[in-house]
Amino acid sequence: MSEIMGLKAKLGLDVFKPDARPHISIKPGMERDPRLKRAVLVCPAGLYSLNAAGEVEFTIDGCLECGTCRLACGTEVLEWSYPVGGFGVQFRFG
């Protein structure tokens, strides 16, 4: 009988090689923009959060490079690109 894996367990199998230059960042001054709050809801890795001051915070660690935040928020609030070759996520499941 096979064991069912949860999302966190599946994500835990992936390997990440971070680049010195983050491939996604919040544009300066856009931390309170309402469009950015969409990323808190849609990022499958949970990398965006809302702090007590009402600003969106972001960490690149664990990014799946899915592009969902780019589509949800737009490039007016986010700088978004893929990591350079050899860096980023290596999927290990499926």
Positions in the binding site for ligand SF4 (CB under 6 A): 24, 43-45, 47, 63-69
* Dihedral sign (CA 15, 11, 93, 64): negative
Contact 48, 69 (CB under 8 A): yes
Nearer to ligand SF4, 5 or 67 (CB): 67
3-state class of 66 per DSSP? coil
Nearer to ligand SF4, 1 or 34 (CB): 34
Contact 60, 21 (CB under 8 A): no
Q: How far is the CB of 69 from ligand SF4 (least distance, A)?
A: 3
Q: How far is the CB of 32 from ligand SF4 (least distance, A)?
A: 18
Q: What angle do CA 8, 14, 16 make, to 5 degrees?
A: 120
Q: How far is the CB of 88 from ligand SF4 (least distance, A)?
A: 10
Nearer to ligand SF4, 3 or 61 (CB): 61
